[in-house]
Chains A and B, each alone.
Chain A
Amino acid sequence: MAMVIDGLSWILIASGVFFVVVGALGLIRMPDFYTRLHAAGMTDSIGAGCILLALALQSGFTLVTVRLLLVWAFLLLTSPVGTHALARAARAGHVEPYRAAPARRD
């Protein structure tokens, strides 16, 4: 049983770290604010969620798990609201989205 929990935690941590690093890479490499927002906002929630869930699995049924789940619930609620507010503010601030150059006709 402990092996199953450990294995599951490893999987969750690995995927959490993968999402977090990929999201940060997207933050650097994407060409435009809205694409960066998309990359960072989504992977933030999932990556942090996976890592926090792995920590919760590791600590069993204690008060620590309850607190971790509270942190997770709070992040789950406020991270999308923050992303939405950022996107609206950028739109109101006239940040132009990236448009690919139109394909040439030859």
Chain B
Amino acid sequence: MMFAVAAGGVLVSMLLAMVRTLLGPTVYDRVLAVNTFGTKTVVLIAVAGFLTGRPDFLDLCLVYALINFIGTIAVLRFFEYGGLAGRQRPDRGAD
């Protein structure tokens, strides 16, 4: 029962994070929302593993937590060095 409550709460927050991804005026808002979404998915997978009685899923949690971190860092590096032509000023992040 408590796992169902946890799963429900985490799903609600994932939905809210998705709304922020779609709304976010600046690009950093979207990156933040995706990062939050990823962390919540890790928790959701852990809880789902307990709900279905198969705690093997924790390897997947660890992989996903790792991938989430790397994805966020990659995006931030992209903003630091990437850009349309490379010679413009760093953009204000507005999309």
Contacts and interface: CB of A to CB of B under 8 A. Distances in A.
Do A and B touch, yes or no (CB under 8 Å, in the complex)? yes
Interface SS majority for chain B: helix
Describe A's contact surface by its main secondary structure.
helix
B28 A75 contact: no
Interface in A1-60: 9-10, 13-14, 16-18, 20-21, 23-25, 27-28, 33, 36-37, 40, 44, 47-48, 51-52, 54-55, 58-59
Interface residues of A, number: 46
29 contacts: A10-B2, A16-B6, A17-B6, A21-B13, A24-B36, A24-B40, A27-B17, A33-B32, A36-B32, A37-B32, A40-B17, A40-B33, A47-B43, A52-B43, A52-B46, A58-B50, A59-B50, A67-B55, A78-B65, A81-B69, A82-B69, A82-B72, A85-B72, A86-B35, A89-B28, A90-B28, A92-B80, A93-B28, A93-B92
Interface of A: 9-10, 13-14, 16-18, 20-21, 23-25, 27-28, 33, 36-37, 40, 44, 47-48, 51-52, 54-55, 58-59, 64, 67-68, 70-71, 74-75, 78-79, 81-82, 85-86, 89-90, 92-95
